[in-house]
C-alpha cells in the first residue's frame, strides 16, 4: 500500500490517510550481491524548496530507535502539517514528469508498480508544493518526530494533543485520527525549553523524549539550527547537523529530507518497508557472509524475505539516481506497507 500525503493535509489541518489497496506483483530478474560494494563519495545535492508535510514511518522490530513503531503493522506513518509562520515554499524546483520518465526508463519494472498504484508520488505533486501563505517550521517537524518515536500513530497523536495543551495549543483531531483537525500555533523552542521535563512527562512523554525536546530546543535557541539554515544546506550537511542532536537518528533525518524538504535523491536504507520493497522488486538474493538478513514472509511461510544491506540497496538504486526519492516512495507500495497519514 502506498503512503499517501492527501490534498487535505494543509497548513493548519491534519488527517489520517486512507489505506490504498492493491497488491504489487513485481518480479524482475534476480539481483544478486556476491561481494562487498565500494561506494563512491556521496555528492552533495542542491536543496530544493520544502513543503509542509512530514511523514513518519516506523517498525518496532527492525526500524532504528528514532522511528515510531506500531505492533502488528509493517510500518506506521504520521504526517504533520507545518504552521503558517514558517518559511514560504512556493518555489517548485523539480520537474516531476522529467524525473518520473528518468526513473522509469532506467527501471521499466517501476513503471508497472506505479501503474498498479494508480497514484503519483505525492511528495512532489501540485498539492505538495506552494501551499499559499504557509511553509516549513523545522522545529515543529522535528519535535513532532520525537514525540512519535517508538509509538503507534494513535498513541502518539494522543500524547501530542496533551503536549500541545501544555502551551495552550489545541488539536481537535478525533480520537481515531480519521477527521481533519485544526491546530493552533506550535510552541516555540523557548517555550518548550522553559517547561520542566517533569511537566513534559506529565503529558505522557518518556524521560528520554523530554530530554530530547529540550536538546532540540537548545539548538534552535542558540541559532545553530534554524529552518532557514536547513533549507540552505546540502543533504549531507543536514544529516551531520541533525544527528548531532540527541534523540534524532539517521532514519528521522531521511524522513525529514524526503517529506519536509522534498529532497529528490533520498534513499532511507534503514527503513524496513523500503528494504522489503527493494528485496522484492529486484528479486534480491544475498550470498555474502556479511549480507543482509531474512525476515518471515506473510503468514510465516515462503522461507522468509531477504533484507538487503545498505550497500546493496545503494547499488540497486543507482538506476533511480538522481531521483531515488521517487523509487523509494514506491517501494512502500511493493512491500504492501500499511501507513497512517495525519
The pTM of the full predicted model, rounded to 2 decimals, is 0.69
Please indicate, yes or no, if residue 248 is contained in any of the structural domains: yes
Q: What is the pLDDT of residue 64?
A: 58
Stretch (H or E) spanning 55: strand 53-58
Q: How far is CA 88 from CA 78, 133, 161, in A?
A: 22, 7, 26
> What pLDDT digit, counting tens, does each position of 162-193 carry?
999 999 876 544 444 433 344 568 999 999 99
Quote the percentage of the chain above a pLDDT of 70. 59
Q: What is the pLDDT of residue 155?
A: 94
Q: What is the pLDDT of residue 94?
A: 82
Q: What is the pLDDT of residue 245?
A: 98
CATH code of the domain covering residue 127: 1.10.340.30
Q: What is the pLDDT of residue 296?
A: 53
153: pLDDT confidence band, cut at 50, 70 and 90?
confident
- Please say if the pLDDT value at position 221 is more than 90: yes
Quote the percentage of the chain above a pLDDT of 90. 51
Mean pLDDT of 299-313: 77
Please indicate, yes or no, if residue 5 is contained in any of the structural domains: no
Q: What is the pLDDT of residue 115?
A: 95
> What pLDDT digit, counting tens, does each position of 19-73 carry?
333 334 444 445 554 444 455 555 555 544 433 333 333 333 334 566 655 433 3
Q: How many domains does the chain have?
A: 1
Please indicate, yes or no, if residue 7 is contained in any of the structural domains: no
Please indicate, yes or no, if residue 1 is contained in any of the structural domains: no
- Residue by residue, DSSP assigns 219-285 as HHHTTSS-HHHHHHS-HHHHHHHHHTSTT--HHHHHHIIIIIS--TT---TT-HHHHHHHHHHTTEE
- Please say if the pLDDT value at position 319 is more than 80: yes
Average pLDDT of every residue of the chain = 74
Please indicate, yes or no, if residue 340 is contained in any of the structural domains: no
Mean pLDDT of 139-148: 95
Query: Are 312 and 275 contacting, i.e. CB atoms less than 8 angstroms apart?
Result: no
- Please say if the pLDDT value at position 243 is more than 90: yes
Query: Are 143 and 186 contacting, i.e. CB atoms less than 8 angstroms apart?
Result: yes
Stretch (H or E) spanning 148: helix 138-148
Q: CA 281, CA 109: separation in Å to the nearest integer?
A: 8
Q: What is the pLDDT of residue 65?
A: 61
Mean pLDDT of 144-159: 92
Q: What is the pLDDT of residue 185?
A: 84
- The torsion angle over the Cα atoms of residues 21, 309, 143 and 127, rounded to 10 degrees, is -40
> 206 versus 287: which is more confidently predicted?
206
Please indicate, yes or no, if residue 3 is contained in any of the structural domains: no
What domain range is 156 assigned to? 13-40+48-334
93: pLDDT confidence band, cut at 50, 70 and 90?
low
89: pLDDT confidence band, cut at 50, 70 and 90?
very low
Q: What is the pLDDT of residue 150?
A: 87
- Please say if the pLDDT value at position 123 is more than 80: yes
Amino acid at each position: 500500500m502506498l503512503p499517501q500525503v492527501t490534498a487535505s493535509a494543509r497548513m493548519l489541518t491534519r488527517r489520517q490517510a486512507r489505506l490504498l489497496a492493491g497488491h504489487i506483483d513485481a518480479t524482475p530478474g534476480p539481483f544478486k550481491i556476491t561481494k562487498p560494494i565500494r561506494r563512491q563519495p556521496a555528492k552533495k545535492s542542491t536543496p530544493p524548496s520544502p513543503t509542509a508535510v512530514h511523514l513518519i514511518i516506523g517498525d518496532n522490530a527492525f526500524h532504528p530507535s528514532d522511528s515510531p513503531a506500531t505492533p502488528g503493522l509493517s510500518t506506521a506513518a504520521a504526517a504533520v502539517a507545518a504552521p503558517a509562520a514558517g518559511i514560504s515554499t512556493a518555489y517548485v524546483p523539480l520537474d516531476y514528469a522529467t524525473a518520473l520518465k528518468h526513473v522509469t526508463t532506467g527501471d521499466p519494472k517501476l513503471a508497472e508498480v506505479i501503474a498498479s498504484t494508480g497514484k503519483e508520488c505525492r511528495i512532489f505533486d501540485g498539492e505538495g508544493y506552494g501551499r499559499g501563505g504557509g511553509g516549513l517550521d523545522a522545529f515543529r517537524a522535528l519535535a513532532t518526530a520525537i514525540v512519535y518515536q517508538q509509538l503507534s500513530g494513535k498513541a502518539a497523536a494522543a500524547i501530542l494533543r496533551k503536549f500541545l495543551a501544555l502551551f495552550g495549543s489545541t488539536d481537535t483531531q478525533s480520537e481515531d485520527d480519521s477527521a481533519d483537525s485544526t491546530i493552533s500555533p506550535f510552541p516555540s523552542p523557548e517555550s518548550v525549553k522553559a517547561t520542566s521535563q517533569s511537566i513534559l512527562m506529565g503529558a505522557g512523554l518518556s524521560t528520554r523524549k523530554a530530554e530530547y525536546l529540550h536538546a532540540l530546543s537548545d539548538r534552535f535557541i542558540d541559532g545553530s539550527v534554524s529552518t532557514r539554515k536547513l533549507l540552505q544546506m546540502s543533504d549531507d550537511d543536514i544529516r551531520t547537523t541533525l544527528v548531532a542532536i540527541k534523540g534524532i537518528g539517521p532514519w528521522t533525518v531521511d524522513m525529514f529530507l524526503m517529506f519536509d524538504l522534498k529532497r529528490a535523491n533520498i534513499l532511507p536504507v534503514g527503513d524496513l518497508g523500503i528494504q522489503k520493497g527493494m528485496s522484492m522488486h529486484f528479486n534480491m538474493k544475498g550470498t555474502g557472509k556479511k549480507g543482509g538478513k531474512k525476515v518471515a514472509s506473510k503468514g510465516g511461510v515462503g522461507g522468509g524475505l531477504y533484507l538487503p544491506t545498505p550497500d546493496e540497496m545503494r547499488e540497486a538504486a543507482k538506476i533511480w539516481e538522481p531521483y531515488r526519492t521517487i523509487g523509494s516512495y514506491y517501494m512502500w507500495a511493493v512491500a504492501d506497507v500499511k501507513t497512517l497519514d495525519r
